[in-house]
A and B are shown apart, each in its own frame.
Chain A
Amino acid sequence: MSSRDQQVVVFLSAPPEQARGELEAIVHDHAKSRVTVYVRDSHRHEYEDLLAECFVRSDKPKGSKRAFIRELRGHLYDEAIALDFGQWSFFPSRILFFLARSQVKSVRTERGVFEFSLLKPTTLLGHFIYRIKHRSGSVGGMPQGTPFPFLFALYRKTFGLLFGVAWCTLEYGWRRVTR
């Protein structure tokens, strides 16, 4: 197999100011490979010059989500690369990274590159613990710095919503009676 046959998929799961440098390095390191890049439509212009030699895909499904996933899994890549600098708003792109079929999966972070594998639980857990503390932006619609944001987000969207609607109705009723 010639090196040109190597297939690499990159998920630009970080804001352009951080992802640009990483993409530059990836394109340079895989100059002889076929590089597919999943990118946000609104950010595509930020990488215009780097994407000339790449296959560019939108990370947002157009039409059926199932078809989009099927198409993603239709390719067997030699390497899948995701970026993780703590911006959780890019979570959907990272889910695509998990779903992509690839022999090697690597994650580029501010602390270097590590290989993602379920056979290396300590690496994953260590990174997860580090990320709980070192993240930027809000998670799950919770204010930045909220401890256990997923738990709060889950509560807000389930019991919080039910309680909120009930309370809102009662409060509104009380206002109507007393106005």
Chain B
Amino acid sequence: MSQLAGFIAGCIVLVVVAVVFIPFAIVWCTILLLAGLVSRPTDTGTKPSDDAPARRTDAASIMILNWNGRAFLEKLLPSLRAAVAHHGGDHEVIVIDNGSDDDSVEFVELEFPEVKLVRHSRNHMFVRGYNEAWDAATKDIVVLLNNDMVVDEGFLGPLLEGFEHPDTFAVSSQIFLADETARRVETGLTGGAMRQGVLKLWHDEVADHLTGLIPVLWAGGGSAAFDRRRLVSLGGFDALYDPFYFEDTGLSFEAWKRGWNVLFAPESKVVHAHQGSSNRLPPSFVGRIRRRNQHLFAWRHLTSWSHTVSSTLLLPLNVARLALGNRGSSLLARAKLEAVGLFLTFPRLVLTLRARIKNARLATRTDAEVFDLAHSRHRFECLTQPAPDPEDQLDILMLAARVPKRGVDGSWGLFELIRLLGQRHRITLCVLMDTQDDNGHVDILRPLVHRLEAWPIEREIGEMDLHHRMPVHLRRYYTSPKLRQRLAVLLRAERFDVVQIDYIEIASMVRDIIHGTRSVHIVHEPWFRAEQSRQIGGLFPRVLKQARFMQAINYESKLYSRFAVVSCFTSEDAELVARWVPNTRVEINPMGPNVENITPCPPSTGHTILSVGYFGHAPNIDAAIWFVHRVLPLVQAEVPDAMLRFAGGGATDAIVALKEHPGVELLGRVKDLFAEMENCTITIAPVREGGGLRTKVLESFAYGRTMVVTPLGASGIEVTDNVECRIATDEHAFAAAVVELLRNEDQRRAMENAARELVADHYTSEIHARRSESLYREICAGTSGEGVA
């Protein structure tokens, strides 16, 4: 009962708070928006690159704020002494004592006489504690350490090396927790985003092999190095956040906006006891200050219109959302915390407004640019570092929504590309695994690439999509927050020259983190084209089809515009994409089989027709049903012993039912396609739906088999009717062509030779790989290329 009463009381508090804050939210939003009009960036603002000071990177002032932390200092100072000796630079260590009652001061004076002491008369907490001690630092770089840290012997080197770039403002260390069994709630690889008006901050996991410098949203005030002059020019930690929390986030964000960079050095390592000092304060006090500063941060630093509106107008709703969403104490206690946290912002609103106006004028980056740069090493390096030498070996990240397989389904084109490029470049391949079978295929891929990440697909809905903007298949299966987080960490932390994304499913998952990078999206089949070509009867299904087509067009147009280049397999697809996404570079690069590894079959005999494909794919199902019901009877009327065999997995019930038809045989997934090709007379591709390149056509040609195809089936391949294959549109023409080829051996023979020659000359995996390579080099070099007009 008490739980129920607490819940009801909490709900009442939340409703009252929400109602009370509605007028405040409207008025405050209006004020901030008006302030935005008078605080636009001006050309006279101090640009960071203009006044970048020459600074020494071999010396640092290492500052430690201490309050009753003798026990912590006993561990930190010896480790620091060892680290300073290890680095060998001209460093100074400064302990700022915040009016400790214990014998911290005496301990430092006695045991560490080389340490400089700054003594405050009382506990000024974090912000004032540091702000009143900057003058004690004499070096160009200050390293701030919490007193409950223990540093690694080599932690200084990587930290200071980050300052060799003139635009660096801060470099953060990698943080490990003293309790190794605890979840790593902080790592130093920081990130954040505005989600429905609330600022979310987090630490990403750090992979063991990470090296170099990685952009981060903020450098923690307890384990990072800062450019002292720039720090002082920003006024140190903002007094708005006094006594603690968000002061380091605010400082770093301000630096980002001024055009400086905040980085993370994974090789600089420290161990943290975590909240060693703040644990000694009442949790409710800490919680309220944290919430107050979270609101103040959004209003103080986020100056875009969308952030301003969401962080103010959604405030009443968000107070309720945060109280309901958090766990731990009772709802009443959480509601009180949210309400008090919000009330505590009131005395600081004027200060917030002044700081916002002042700093917005000096900003050289927008909110969106800051969030973009701070969350992708690839994007950061694209903008800040010179392009890689075109002759060098490239670091390529390939993301694929399914595991590329050799000779099993249409993904062999990607498999061949990986095989060939893997011999010349360093490929990091990341694939999503759908079934247990994929494990075996992953093992085949592993030796072909530099590194392989194979993640199981998580069927978890991660997007609300209240207005049905996203195709349902993508929303249902490819919005898992965990997977997106893993992809985000991969893209934010590692170094790549170029990123290739295969299949719309994974392109959709990285859409928010990929723009502004050297990225190529390989469109295997535009969805809108597949939706448009769907063979459907009836009024309601047609209306639904049109709605899906419009949804696909809208979604894909926006999605494609995020990539530097969109590459299609066929000219038809490329022209369509270029028409709908006019500002994006679109290329044509058809894939091809590994002709050297495919032995041509001996000349065909008999009256056997072969259809190859994955029969769980809608266009293939439609094609099979159409052929068996509409074409095969016409063929068998002329050639009674004509047999039709389907080779390929994924057969649906509709496909299985086809075997009841006389002369139809289902082979399922075949291990040796050569044997089936050898035993057939011709192959067919009666596709009427979809887009992309029909790999089965190229495969058949490579094996030396001619075929009958629909114009859609031959799309993207420069074939001539009656030379390499027969092209037929309706069932009568299709049946006539099949009959003619089954009967006329000489014609068939000539076409088989021509087909094989066409593939060998124009559609091999080697040609595909060379074109891809050339495209990557163009992108890296920053040349625009011609693209599709």
Contacts and interface: CB of A to CB of B under 8 A. Distances in A.
Number of chain B interface residues as a range: 20 to 34
A179 B481 CA distance: 34
B4 A126 contact: yes
A117 interface: no
A145 B325 contact: yes
B580 A138 contact: no
Contacts of B47: none
Contacts of B557: 175
A143 B580 contact: no
B641 interface: no
* Best-buried of A125, A144, A168 by chain B (most CB within 10 Å): A168
Given A141-B461, A171-B554, A160 B466 contact: yes
Interface stretch (B51-59, B291-299, B545-553): B545-553
A68 interface: no
Interface string A116-155: 0000001001100110010000100111111100001001
Interface of B: 1, 3-4, 7, 320-321, 324-325, 327, 460-469, 479, 481, 547, 550-551, 553-554, 557, 579-580, 582
A152 B580 contact: no
Given A138-B461, A156-B468, 18 more contacts: A126-B4, A129-B4, A129-B7, A133-B327, A141-B461, A142-B461, A143-B460, A143-B464, A143-B479, A144-B461, A152-B464, A152-B466, A156-B466, A161-B468, A163-B467, A165-B468, A165-B547, A168-B547
18 contacts: A129-B7, A133-B327, A138-B461, A143-B464, A144-B460, A145-B325, A147-B320, A147-B321, A152-B464, A156-B466, A160-B467, A163-B467, A165-B468, A168-B469, A168-B551, A171-B554, A175-B557, A179-B580
Contacts, number: 70
Contacts of A152: 464, 466
A167 interface: yes
Nearest to B548: A168
A160 B327 contact: no
* Best-buried of A144, A156, A171 by chain B (most CB within 10 Å): A171
A146 B1 CA distance: 26
A114 interface: no
A35 B199 CA distance: 53
Interface residues of A, number: 29
Given A138-B460, A175-B557, A160 B468 contact: yes
B462 A172 contact: no
B468 A175 contact: no
Nearest to B481: A143
A125 B4 CA distance: 8
B550 A169 contact: yes
A164 interface: yes
Q: Name A's interface SS.
A: helix
B1 A164 contact: no
A170 to B, nearest CB: 10
Contacts of A133: 327
Instruction: Name the 4 nearest CB pairs between A and B, nearest first.
Output: A164-B468, A164-B467, A172-B550, A160-B466
Contact of B464 (A142, A163, A169): A142
Interface in A45-84: none
A172 B460 contact: no
A171 B321 CA distance: 31
B577 to A, nearest CB: 11
Contacts of A125: 4
Contacts of A179: 579-580, 582
Contacts of A156: 464-468
Nearest to B553: A172
Contacts of B468: 156, 160-161, 164-165, 168
B7 A175 contact: no
A45 B44 CA distance: 73
Given A126-B4, A129-B4, A146 B464 contact: yes
A147 B325 contact: yes
Interface in A6-65: none
Nearest to B317: A147
* Best-buried of B7, B327, B481, B582 by chain A (most CB within 10 Å): B7
A13 B262 CA distance: 50
A146 B321 CA distance: 9
B554 A168 contact: yes
Contacts of B462: 143
* Best-buried of A138, A152, A179 by chain B (most CB within 10 Å): A179
Contacts of A168: 468-469, 547, 550-551, 554
Contacts of A141: 461
Contacts of B466: 152, 155-156, 160, 164
Contact of B554 (A129, A163, A172): A172
Contacts of A165: 468, 547
Contacts of A126: 3-4
A94 B71 CA distance: 56
Contacts of B553: 172, 175
A175 B4 contact: no
A164 B469 contact: yes
A143 B460 CA distance: 8
Nearest to B327: A133
Contacts of B467: 156, 160, 163-164, 167
A139 B788 CA distance: 45
A173 to B, nearest CB: 9
A91 B467 CA distance: 24
Contacts of A146: 464
A88 to B, nearest CB: 12
Contacts of A160: 466-468
Contact of B1 (A122, A138, A172): A122
A133 B330 CA distance: 12
Nearest to A169: B550
A134 to B, nearest CB: 9
Contacts of A144: 460-461, 481
B541 to A, nearest CB: 16
Contacts of A122: 1, 4
Contacts of B7: 129
Nearest to B543: A165
Nearest to B324: A147
Nearest to A142: B464
A179 B1 CA distance: 63
Contacts of B464: 142-143, 146, 152, 156
Nearest to A163: B467
Contacts of B325: 145, 147
Nearest to A132: B324
A59 B479 CA distance: 29
Nearest to B476: A141
Nearest to B580: A179
A141 B466 CA distance: 10
A122 B8 CA distance: 13
A161 B468 CA distance: 6
A129 B4 CA distance: 8
Nearest to A172: B550
A96 B550 CA distance: 39
Contacts of B547: 165, 168
A108 B468 CA distance: 37
A129 B460 CA distance: 24
B52 to A, nearest CB: 43
B156 to A, nearest CB: 41
Contacts of B461: 138, 141-144
B407 to A, nearest CB: 31
* Best-buried of A138, A169, A172 by chain B (most CB within 10 Å): A172
Nearest to A137: B460
Contacts of A145: 325
Nearest to B551: A168
Nearest to A174: B554
Contact of A143 (B463, B554, B582): B463
B281 to A, nearest CB: 27
A127 B472 CA distance: 33
B233 to A, nearest CB: 41
A145 B461 CA distance: 11
A15 B468 CA distance: 29
